[in-house]
Amino acid sequence: MEALTGATLIDVVTGRPLSDAVILVRDGHIVAVGAADAVPVPRGADVSDLRGRWIVPGFIDAHTHLQPWGLGVALRYGVTAVRDLHEGTTLADTLRAVAARAPAPRLFLAVAMLDGLPTTYPDAWPVLSPDSADAAVGRLVERGAAWVKVYTRITPDVLEAIVNAARVRQLPVAAHLGLTDAITAADLGVTSVEHLSGVPEAAGDSTMLFAAHAQGFFPGWTAFERSWSTLDTAALAVVARELAARRVFLVPTLVLHETLSRLDDSSIYHSADLRRVPDSARRDWNVAGMIKRAGWTRADFAAFRAARPSQDFVLRTFVASGGRVAAGTDASNQLLVPGASLHTEMELLVRAGLSSLTALRAATSWAADLLRADSLGRLRPGAAADLVVLGADPLADIRNTRQVVRVMLGGKWVGP
């Protein structure tokens, strides 16, 4: 039996801090949580005195593409679970093997994304017609996928068949939309919409945007980001409210939007977090090569920055209308450091107008809701003992989530 004593526990569900809390842990799970006078510490328990600290549930990154090196890095930043939305069959096996050997975040894998032709990534699986959706989803299940990820070239008729095939197998569907707008996707029953994709397509004239998505990933992304600042606030508010009413999760990955909008800003190439990234991974990033492939200019980056207030507005409206957001990052794609980028995401959620508590929920309880992982994201009896000890109060300032003092995963201290 392990006893954690003296810290202030943040209950992310009620938002209430519980000072001088006791958490009892046995066999990887929490067995009791409460105030010191209500939960006695059993004799012989291994006591960790955490006076002057704060405790929150382990963080969940709801949108990653990790390489093996990223698992340990994410954990040091307090990330104890990730939803990895496409890694390809070989990398999926490797990630599982690495996670079996050393402490790593819990893995919820999509294995291979489903896309139209030509697929954006060579290891994605093409689904060309509704008839072939069921077989593709069946193969994902055989490969141990916990999620179905659909990509930008999936059309509404194929998406409908994929969602139905996934539903039969109890699999949720994550959508990075291109040729389908977000309201249509929500109506068809996708579980989460990634990157706020499909929102401009639902709020304005989608003809030009669909044509850009059909050309390829970068033309699609560029036109999508450029469109935000041209849309009416009223139209965006309607879409945000309609999405909230349909109970779809948004995984906005603001840190991805923000990072791609600042590629002409030299300061983002010098953040201290980048020291955690191996040289080989930095070379693979080849940011200059990506900018060249995308054909992005200073005018594009300025337009991407101009999109950010509209994206924040959609998020605020969505949450105010009862919608749930999960924090995700797209790490370890270019400049997005596993774990570190999730703290930036929480900070950006607060900058978008959400409360610190809401940002914490997005990275804990709401992300667990998205994963349908009842044992994660909340510190209560029966839950997995995944938690983070912080050196400062995250409700006072969300940037304090970065002050990770200790990380517990499945009842074991694993870092940092």
CA separation, residue 134 to residues 128, 131, 179, 192 (Å): 12, 7, 20, 20
- CB closer to Zn ion out of 4 and 260: 260
C-beta of 165 vs 175, nearer to Zn ion: 175
Binding to Zn ion (CB under 5 A) within 48-77 occurs at: none
CB of 185 to Zn ion, least distance (A): 16
Q: How far is the CB of 232 from Zn ion (least distance, A)?
A: 28
**What residues from 292 to 351 belong to the interface with Zn ion (CB under 5 A)?**
330
Of residues 61 and 330, the one with the C-beta less far from Zn ion = 330
Q: Are strands 17-18 and 8-10 parallel, antiparallel or unpaired?
A: antiparallel
Report, in Å, the least distance between residue 224 CB and Zn ion.
14
Strand order in the sheet with 59-64: 59-64, 79-84, 106-109
For residue 400, the Cα-to-chain-centroid distance in whole angstroms is 19
Q: How many residues bind Zn ion (CB under 5 A)?
A: 1
3-state secondary structure of 284: helix
Cβ atoms 64, 91 nearer than 8 A: no
Strand-pair category, 21-26 with 2-5: antiparallel
Interacting residues with Zn ion between 92 and 111 (CB under 5 A): none
Cis bond upstream, residue 118 (ω within 30): yes
Q: Minimum distance between the CB of residue 263 and Zn ion, rounded to whole angstroms?
A: 17
Cβ proximity to Zn ion, 25 vs 124, nearer residue: 124
In the complex, minimum distance from the CB of residue 189 to Zn ion, in angstroms, rounded to a whole number: 21
Q: Considering the complex, state which of residue 115 and residue 330 has its C-beta at the smaller distance from Zn ion.
A: 330
Distance (Å, whole) CA 398 – CA 345? 10
Q: Which is nearer to Zn ion, 273 or 330 (CB)?
A: 330
CA 233 remoteness from chain centre: 26
Integer Cα distance of 224 and 218 in angstroms: 10
Residue nearest to Zn ion (CB): 330
The smaller minimum CB distance to Zn ion, of residues 12 and 251, is found at 251
Q: Shortest distance, CB of residue 82 to Zn ion, whole angstroms?
A: 12
172 vs 204 by CB, closer to Zn ion: 172
Q: What is the 3-state secondary structure (H, E, C) of 169-190?
A: CCCCEEECCCCCCHHHHHHHCC
Which of left, alpha, beta for 359 (phi over 0: left; psi -120 to 50: alpha)?
A: alpha
CB of 294 within 8 A of CB of 49? no
CB of 47 to Zn ion, least distance (A): 42
Kindly state whether residue 115 participates in binding Zn ion, applying the rule CB under 5 A: no
In angstroms, rounded to a whole number, what is the distance separating the alpha carbons of residues 180 and 123? 22
Q: Which residues bind Zn ion (CB under 5 A)?
A: 330
